[in-house]
């Protein structure tokens, strides 16, 4: 047992500790030592628990007095009982060696930032269990993962039972660690045989996807009750068929509209299949909810923002009123939108973040991933609630932050926005942070670091970030510290 009075000054001091839970607690001590906004809350809620974990000796009189004195701290902001505190991953980004989908081919052609390839990724296909241990050690009670279509159905008409067994092992591993699994059925990747037929441009693809869903739900339905049909159809359609940053690299607005329509039909078919096989299971689509504000009060900026909002948000709201039990919302940032006559492929609009706003790390285009804007999460939740009146899971939120100097406050401020929305009557059932561990970030390759655990993609070494320890404390408490005023 480690002495609680030892001064641990850096993460490297304790990464050699074999107990993952002890790592998390020492990391939290380092975090709260340098972040007074939350230190008093940590002491008032966790003095007794920390002492029980860190030492075998009874609390001293001084320690008891400190614990009692800090009870005057404002009451933490508590979340509803049963709230899900999770992390999120996707198959291609963490499994490794997914050689039979369109993204693998795209990577081998040198299309990703710095020529990066997913390679072995995070090694989950052969050994995900140590990372599941890390999630458990943090105290999270849920995990969102996806299944890889090209593994389960490597050729049209042929199913791989070994792949299904491996996904059963992963789901059993999540459940045995006290976590609720959420499974995404399509997360940006297509089998090569499907891509050769046109992918989601092909009007037959929704039915083919339905047959895949029938197989997956039939084989895994006893281990999962929360299903996401399709992840971010608007993002897939825009980046693959308008901007050309993702495979197949097209720049055709009409093609993107067809893709979006086919994905919506795929969602509807998948939802019917889930409900037919397991009436009590819950199913929803996942939407990247970007908050869009006009760059100026000028009429043309206001009008182009309204058009963007309809394309990126309004259409999806309209088609998900039925066939869904919940709405999966991914929230990262806000865009400022200005009319730009030089951008016909972008509907004569330009999305950007002004330089004087706080921003996260830069990506492959040389601009930041986006503005850090927690109020946008509150606005997004309120809007979805107003239009759909259904339960909401925040299926992704986070930011690329390689040195972890923004993520701790990002977590606190965005969860405060969630709590504010719940108090306002929004039915939010859980939050899944992107991501548990640094992983392969599509066109950005290994250049963006979203993980609560840092990972060296060359060695596979993991290191708990202070933001991960903070999230673990929040998950265990089912609460966040009340904001300090004055």
Return the SS3 of 231: strand
Average pLDDT over residues 240-244: 96
Is a pLDDT exceeding 70 seen at residue 424? yes
Is a pLDDT exceeding 50 seen at residue 461? yes
Share of the chain residues as helix, strand and coil, in percent rounded to the nearest 5:
45, 15, 35
pTM of the model: 0.89
**How do residues 401-418 score in pLDDT, each as one tens digit?**
999 999 999 999 999 999
- Complete domains list, the chain, with CATH: 11-72 (no CATH), 83-480 (3.20.20.80)
Is a pLDDT exceeding 70 seen at residue 441? yes
Write down the mean pLDDT value for the chain: 89
Average pLDDT over residues 185-208: 98
pLDDT computed for residue 318 by the predictor = 83
Average pLDDT over residues 360-388: 96
Query: For residues 385 and 216, what is the distance between their CA atoms, to the nearest angstrom?
Result: 30
pLDDT computed for residue 65 by the predictor = 39
Question: What are the Cα distances from residue 16, in Å, to 23, 24, 48, 67, 293?
Answer: 9, 12, 25, 30, 47
**Angle 221-226-228 (CA atoms, 0-180°, nearest 5)?**
105
Query: For residues 486 and 478, what is the distance between their CA atoms, to the nearest angstrom?
Result: 25
pLDDT computed for residue 28 by the predictor = 52
Find the range with the poorest average confidence among 116-120, 343-347, 371-375. 343-347
Is a pLDDT exceeding 60 seen at residue 268? yes
**Is 419 or 486 the better-scoring residue by pLDDT?**
419
- DSSP labels for 186-210? ESS--BHHHHHTTGGGSTTHHHHHH
Is a pLDDT exceeding 70 seen at residue 197? yes
Q: How confident is the model at residue 483 (pLDDT cuts 50, 70, 90)?
A: confident
Is a pLDDT exceeding 60 seen at residue 287? yes
Residues of the chain with pLDDT > 70, as a percent, come to: 85
Average pLDDT over residues 333-344: 96
pLDDT computed for residue 345 by the predictor = 83
**Burial (CB count within 10 angstroms: exposed 0-12, middle 13-18, buried 19+), residue 274:** buried
Find the range with the poorest average confidence among 152-166, 240-254, 308-322. 308-322
* Residues 6 or more apart in contact with residue 127 via CB below 8 angstroms: none
pLDDT computed for residue 23 by the predictor = 54
Is a pLDDT exceeding 70 seen at residue 47? no
Q: Is omega for the bond preceding 435 within 30 degrees of 0, making it cis?
A: yes
pLDDT computed for residue 22 by the predictor = 57
**How do residues 94-130 score in pLDDT, each as one tens digit?**
999 999 999 999 999 999 999 999 999 999 999 999 9
**Is 76 or 33 the better-scoring residue by pLDDT?**
76
pLDDT computed for residue 405 by the predictor = 97
**Angle 28-137-133 (CA atoms, 0-180°, nearest 5)?**
140
Is a pLDDT exceeding 70 seen at residue 337? yes
Q: Are 392 and 326 in contact (CB under 8 A)?
A: yes
* Residues 6 or more apart in contact with residue 192 via CB below 8 angstroms: 100, 101, 102, 105, 150
Q: Are 307 and 348 in contact (CB under 8 A)?
A: no
Average pLDDT over residues 185-211: 98
């Amino acid at each position: 047992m480690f002495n609680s009075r030892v001064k641990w000054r850096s993460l490297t001091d304790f990464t050699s500790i074999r107990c993952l839970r002890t790592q998390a607690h020492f990391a939290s001590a380092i975090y709260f030592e340098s972040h007074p906004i939350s230190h008093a809350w940590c002491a008032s809620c966790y003095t007794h628990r920390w002492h029980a974990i860190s030492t075998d000796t009874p609390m001293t009189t001084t320690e008891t007095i400190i614990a009692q004195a800090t009870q005057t701290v404002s009451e933490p902001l508590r979340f509803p009982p049963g709230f899900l505190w999770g992390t999120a991953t996707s198959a291609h980004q963490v499994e490794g060696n997914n050689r039979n989908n369109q993204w693998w081919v795209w990577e081998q052609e040198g299309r990703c930032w710095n020529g990066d390839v997913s390679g072995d990724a995070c090694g989950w296909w052969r050994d995900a269990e140590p990372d599941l241990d890390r999630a458990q050690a943090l105290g999270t009670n849920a995990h969102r993962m996806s299944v890889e279509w090209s593994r389960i159905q490597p050729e049209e008409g042929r199913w791989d039972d070994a792949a299904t067994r491996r996904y059963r092992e992963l789901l059993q591993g999540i459940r045995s660690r006290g976590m609720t699994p959420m499974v995404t059925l399509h997360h940006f990747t297509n089998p090569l045989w499907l891509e050769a037929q046109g992918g989601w441009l092909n009007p037959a693809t929704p039915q083919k996807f339905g047959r895949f869903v029938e197989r997956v739900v039939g084989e895994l339905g006893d281990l999962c009750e929360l299903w996401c049909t399709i992840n971010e159809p608007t993002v897939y359609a825009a980046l693959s068929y308008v901007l050309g940053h993702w495979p197949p690299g097209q720049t055709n607005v009409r093609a993107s509209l067809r893709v979006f329509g086919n994905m919506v039909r795929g969602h509807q078919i998948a939802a019917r299949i889930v409900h037919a096989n397991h009436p009590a299971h819950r199913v929803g689509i996942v939407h990247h909810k970007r908050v869009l504000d006009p760059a100026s009060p000028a009429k043309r900026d206001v009008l182009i923002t309204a058009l963007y909002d309809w394309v990126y948000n309004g259409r999806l709201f309209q088609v998900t009123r039925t066939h869904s039990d919940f709405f999966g919302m991914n929230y990262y940032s806000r865009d400022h939108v200005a009319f730009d006559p030089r951008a016909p492929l972008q509907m004569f609009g330009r999305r950007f973040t002004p330089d004087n706003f706080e921003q996260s790390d830069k990506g492959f285009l040389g601009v930041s991933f986006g503005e850090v804007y927690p109020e946008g999460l509150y606005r997004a939740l309120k809007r979805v609630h107003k239009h759909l009146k259904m339960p909401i899971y925040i299926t992704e939120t986070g930011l690329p932050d390689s040195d972890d100097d923004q993520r701790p406050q990002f977590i606190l401020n965005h969860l405060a926005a969630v709590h504010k929305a719940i108090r306002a009557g929004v039915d939010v059932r859980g939050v899944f942070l992107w991501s548990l561990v640094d992983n392969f970030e599509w066109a950005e390759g290994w250049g963006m670091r979203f993980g609560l655990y840092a990972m060296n993609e060359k060695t596979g070494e993991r290191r708990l970030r202070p933001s991960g320890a903070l999230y673990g404390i929040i998950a265990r408490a089912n609460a966040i510290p009340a904001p300090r005023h004055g």
